Amino acid sequence: MSELPKGQSIEEKQYLLRFNADTKSHLTVLDAEVCMSSCPDKLCTIFCPAEVYKWEDIRMHVGYEGCHECGSCRIGCPHQNIKWEYPKGGHGIVFRLG
Ligand code: SF4
Ligand code: SF4
């Protein structure tokens, strides 16, 4: 297995990622009201390494197309308010090492 060159920044490593996005999101924020009233720090906007979650006034925008499929949001949401599934076969992230 090839390795990433040492000394690369996150941005350089992310450049090696490609996405084949589905038309339907594999991520669902179940209840925006929970985000609004019970999660003042909007933790998913902090722990997601791909910055998929962006709080927009009263709702969470989910940029599922850039998901790295790390699974963190399955356990990171303190209210189990994110439904996470793998993208359908053939869709999602493509790792390009080189
Ligand atoms: S961490 Fe969970 S409850 Fe908090 S803003 Fe994100 S989805 Fe909503
Ligand atoms: S699986 Fe990882 S990259 Fe994808 S949305 Fe959740 S935390 Fe972000």
Report the separation in Å between the CA atom of 46 and the middle of ligand 2, taken as the mean of its atom positions. 11
- pLDDT-derived band of residue 97, with 50, 70 and 90 as boundaries? low
Query: For the domain 10-95, what is the CATH code?
Result: 3.30.70.20
pLDDT category of residue 5 using cuts at 50, 70 and 90: low
Cα 77 to averaged position of ligand 1 atoms, centre (Å): 5
Tell me the per-residue pLDDT of 32-55, one tens digit each, with 9 for 90 and over. 999 999 999 999 999 999 999 999
Contact 72, 20 (CB under 8 A): no
Map 57-97 to HEC letters. Answer: CCEEEECHHHCCCCCHHHHHCCCCCEEECCCCCCCEEEECC
CA of 6 to the centre of ligand 2 (A): 24
Indicate the top mutation candidate among 77, 80, 83, 84 to test ligand 1's pocket, ranked by most ligand atoms within 8 A of CB.
77
> Where are the domains positioned within the chain?
10-95
Structure tokens, 89 = 């076969």
| pTM exceeds 0.75 | yes
